[in-house]
Each structure stands twice: as structure tokens, then as C-alpha cells.
Amino acid sequence: MKILLPPSETKRPGGRDAPLDESSLALPGLVAERRAVIDALIDLAHDEEAARRVLKLSPKQAGDVEHNRMLRSAATMPAVDRYTGVLYDALDAGRLDPASRRWLGSHVWIHSAPLGPIGALDLIPPYRLAAGTSLPGLAALRRHWADATTTAIAGEDPDFILDLRSEAYVALGPVPDSVPSAYVRVVTEHGRALNHFNKKSKGLFVRALAEDRPRVRSLRTLRTWAASRGLVLRPTDDRGVEELVVAE
């Protein structure tokens, strides 16, 4: 099984590992696409005013422009530690035991706007780029990433994909039709969609998977594991969409 997670706009600063090496990241077939986005971000960052306008940043967020300028020289840290916010605070990967962290590294891809899907333990620098941003000199991110990412995922030939991304990131790399998958929505027992608890519930769900490290090769075995944890996954009328049911 592979799990696809969204990134987070907020990120932990700093790092102690070597600078970014695009060729070392998961899905190495995306190296050319990664380098093109990084080049565009670095070029844009040399004009702070233009960068703030394109990235929709306030003057107080000028540090994010500097992060983009330093993409190839800044220190890195594992992606799952770099991202913060509701989902990643709930996942709390820093407090998982080594075996659980290794499981994350083998089973979780985090879908980054500048880098595409990357492994949870892949080393990345801080950056600022959202899925809907249009960078000068580059095709819209959806056109730049979608086909290449879908092809790269198909090349990995996973048994099953659990897709926990937001719709904006799904558009940057749809799961190929050839791969069995389930897209998860978080709802209450009465079917009401949730927002804040959507992210928190997904983080807790992935943490539980990392702690138990089950062998999941299909939606059926995922549902069986979820039930053993007291979690409810149920099908919907939409093909390939599952609901994760949580208490209000």
C-alpha cells in the first residue's frame, strides 16, 4: 500500500541534513519536472516584489521568498518533519518509534507542489508554493505535473493506494486507473463533511497505521484493519470514494 498525503502551507524552519538532491527523492522519474519548478521558483525569488505578488505573500512573509531563493543550498530535513499544521501535528511523526517511522518512509508519499509526490522521509528544504500558483515561464502546475505524476505512480505498480489528498493536489497527479485505490472523505456519523477535523482525523488515521504496520494490499484488508482499531470506513455512492466516520 501507498498513502498519498497533502502537504501543509506551514513548515518547520531549519534543518541539519545536506541540501536538496532531486534525484534522491521518491518517484525518480519526476526529476526533470522537479528541476523545472525549482528553477522557476529560484528565478522568481530574485525579484522579491514579483515573488510576493505571484505567491500572494505579505511584506511580513518575505522570508518565504528567501526560502525559495535558497532551495538548492538550504539545509534539509525529512518531509514528514518539515510539514506542520493540523494533519502533521496529529500524525506527530517525531514521536513515533523507529520502526513506525521506517514504515512511513516505505508507505507514505507527500504531494508537494514544487517536487511532486515525495517519500515521507525524503529530505527537503523549506519552500513556499501552493498547488494553484502559476509561475512565470512555466505551464500551470496542473498541466506541468498531472500526466507525468500519474505515469510515475503507475510505474511504481503499487498494490493499492489510499488517497488522503485535497482535491487541489489530486489534480496535480491523479491516481492511474490501473491502480486499485480509495479516496477518503471525513464525515460525521450523520454524513456531515468536516473541515478542521478532516485534517486531524487523517493525521490520526495514518499514525494508527504506522503504529500497527498492517499488511494492506486492498481496500478489503484496509477496512478489516480499521475495524480492528474501532475505526469506520464505509463505501459511498461515488465509485472509489470511502468515508472515514468520526464522532462530532
Amino acid 166 reads: S
Domain limits, the chain: 2-246
pTM of the model: 0.96
Q: What is the pLDDT of residue 239?
A: 87
Give me the pLDDT at residue 197, please.
Answer: 85
Instruction: Give pLDDT, residue 189.
Output: 84
pLDDT at 247: 79
Q: Which residues of the chain have pLDDT under 50?
A: none
Q: Which of 147, 141, 226 is nearest to 184 (CA)?
A: 226
Measuring CA to CA, how many Å separate 80 from each of 12, 35, 110? 10, 21, 8
Quick one: pLDDT at residue 60? 87
* Residue 93 near residue 77 (C-beta atoms within 8 A): no
Cβ(77)–Cβ(53) under 8 Å?
Answer: no
Q: Cβ neighbours of residue 50 under 8 Å, at least 6 residues apart?
A: 44, 136
Among 110, 231, 162, 122, smallest CA distance to 1 is for 162
pLDDT at 200 (0 to 100): 94
